[in-house]
Structure 1
């Protein structure tokens, strides 16, 4: 008999994954070119050639398949530290970097290291719903903060939700699912409130910056680097999106020296990597990443897809904000029940994820990281879908 918690999770399996599996069945039935699968954020752009060359080169290292430090190869961590210092004017060294099994692994080892039972972690609606599972993995409590009509945090609600039991706040910008980027003004106000609350409650409140989409931004929008605003910031990053390597599960956690008790925290994350069963991040791809820390894949296809999809939806009477980053668009459902809207869309072979999966009913998420020709063809289907909605409303 499985545990009660896992039984609940099995019964409420990820809607995103369910839609992805449904998409595979539809593609087998109708052909890939006739299914408009906007469900899973699976990068469509190929990794840079340099990545594959670096992987092949890494295979020539005699000890490539051996164990290493739980925090990862020292030379890899040093190259990442130097790259961050160059880009963001930080002062990292290899000791500040812990290699992780993707951003998900990084978040889990961080939460394992800082959370006591029943301590609270604040998240901003809409948010990636796996955060809830990660927090509950370590008996923490999720506290949700409301957003405004632009999907920006409601700062008044944020201030109210911070209590003496608050241990951490998770920020995801560029944001999944909304596609917005939190401005310097927003980050500055968030930092001001956190500093005030740290002083009021006389204990550390960590700011966890989850940054898998940092490199996917449009229109020259700036993504603030949070350590410059708030000293107790832990940065979590992965190469799944920037180098199109989601299956390789490789990322890192960066802990600045300025973080309260940083040395002890670094030790805790290193041990958590071991005891959670990760042991260390994948060896081969670590070495390959070291050769690719200053490059990204070509993001121009995502920007092209964004423009085609956004303009096509607006022209056909849909309501949505133009994404500033990521490869997601958060669309307002034209009917009250967005799950029903998703079901109707399936009749037109359009797959989307209900906003309730991100704690925001009434919206749907579209992942436009797919072939441009699929995005182009989908516009006529979205028109047919809207016509169907209007016909049923009469």
Structure 2
């Protein structure tokens, strides 16, 4: 007998992955150019030239060192370089000892959740959220995920709903800004208010409540928007980061957990993150790409492409009557569907080979996620099909 809960996870892929595979099947029938796959957040902008140059130069070095193990928490010089970059950008004073390098953001989140969760603990998840959070929290960390419904007017935090769902078992709150799937960026006012609420609840319940800030889209913002750096507003913050989006390296699986020294029980917390990595089987992050990202700190791909895509898609859909909060970051649009049943709407969209993800998967029914990290021409060709789909509801 195998572990049936794990078998269920293996047999039932996420809707995003199911749509991605469906798109591959349709492409074999109608041609790749005739499938408008907006299902997955796979960056379409190439990595900066500096990434390729760093790979070539590192590859010319000692192959034993290049491909060998590093320390479990990451090479010391790499962690120092990443800490120095954070200090330069955010006015902090971190050292490499605050960083634990991971196999992407998924591993960073898994380690953070497992590090803080004790039996009976609850972790609040703010909708709309990345669907895998629930699996990481409940199947990976053994805690209870408590979903907080969204504020659909602006996709800032629904504070009344959050406070109603907090209790003495609340160990952490997860935020994701810029947000997947809405593209919303939490304002400084929102982060300050969240900090005040968490400080109040820490005093009320007599234990730390960690803010786990999932930040793979931190640099992907438009129109001069600034992303508040959460640890500068709330001491008990843990940051989970990935270079998958900023450097267009999703397949290379490289990220980190930041445990700031001002966080409650920071030494034990950092040790718990390391222990979680050990328990989950992460020996060390990929050695080559540790060195590559250390040489490419602060760089991004060409964000102008994403902004062009956002504007084209947002302006086109809203002109057709789709209602949507304009995203300030990431590379997703999250319009309301034209009928209350978002799953039915997304299924109908398949008739036009438009592949979009139901909002219910993100804790926000009545919406759809459209990933616009695709070729701009794909969006131009898809807009008339979205118009035909809209006409069915008029």
TM-score class normalised by the smaller sequence: over 0.9
Kindly state the Cα deviation for residue 311 of structure 1 after the two structures are TM-superposed.
Answer: 0.7
| Whole-angstrom distance in 2 between the partners of 1:242 and 1:343 | 31
| Whole-angstrom distance in 2 between the partners of 1:51 and 1:304 | 24
Indicate if the aligned counterparts of 1:117 and 1:138 stay in contact, CA closer than 8 A. Answer: no
SS at 2:388 equivalent:
helix
Given candidates 303, 310, 314, the residue that maps to 2:314 is 310
| Whole-angstrom distance in 1 between the partners of 2:150 and 2:388 | 31
Given candidates 142, 145, 154, the residue that maps to 2:145 is 142
The residue aligned with 1:107 is 109
| Whole-angstrom distance in 2 between the partners of 1:65 and 1:145 | 43
The residue aligned with 2:92 is 90
The residue aligned with 1:279 is 283
Q: Deviations over 1:123-178 (max 9, x none)?
A: 11111110000001121001111222222221112122111111111010000111
The alignment status of 1:325 with 2:329, answered yes or no, reads: yes
Given candidates 153, 160, 163, the residue that maps to 2:157 is 153
Instruction: Give 1:127-206 correspondences, 5 Å limit.
Output: 127-136=129-138, 137-148=140-151, 149-206=153-210
Indicate if the aligned counterparts of 2:150 and 2:364 stay in contact, CA closer than 8 A. Answer: no
**Which 5+ residue runs of structure 1 have no aligned equivalent?**
none
| Whole-angstrom distance in 2 between the partners of 1:216 and 1:183 | 15
The residue aligned with 1:64 is 66
Q: Deviations over 1:25-69 (max 9, x none)?
A: 122222222211100000000001110111122223321111221
The alignment status of 1:230 with 2:210, answered yes or no, reads: no
Moved over 6 A (4+): none
Indicate if the aligned counterparts of 1:305 and 1:375 stay in contact, CA closer than 8 A. Answer: yes
Distance 1:46 1:174, change over 3 A: same
| Whole-angstrom distance in 2 between the partners of 1:272 and 1:281 | 14
SS at 1:25 equivalent:
helix
Given candidates 354, 359, 363, the residue that maps to 1:359 is 363
RMSD of aligned alpha carbons: 1.1
* TM-score (structure 2 length as normaliser): 0.97
SS at 2:393 equivalent:
helix
Kindly state the Cα deviation for residue 270 of structure 1 after the two structures are TM-superposed.
Answer: 1.8
Instruction: Give 1:256-295 correspondences, 5 Å limit.
Output: 256-295=260-299
Given candidates 285, 293, 300, the residue that maps to 1:296 is 300
**Which 5+ residue runs of structure 2 have no aligned equivalent?**
none
Indicate if the aligned counterparts of 1:122 and 1:170 stay in contact, CA closer than 8 A. Answer: yes
The residue aligned with 2:50 is 50
Indicate if the aligned counterparts of 1:70 and 1:271 stay in contact, CA closer than 8 A. Answer: no
Aligned length: 390
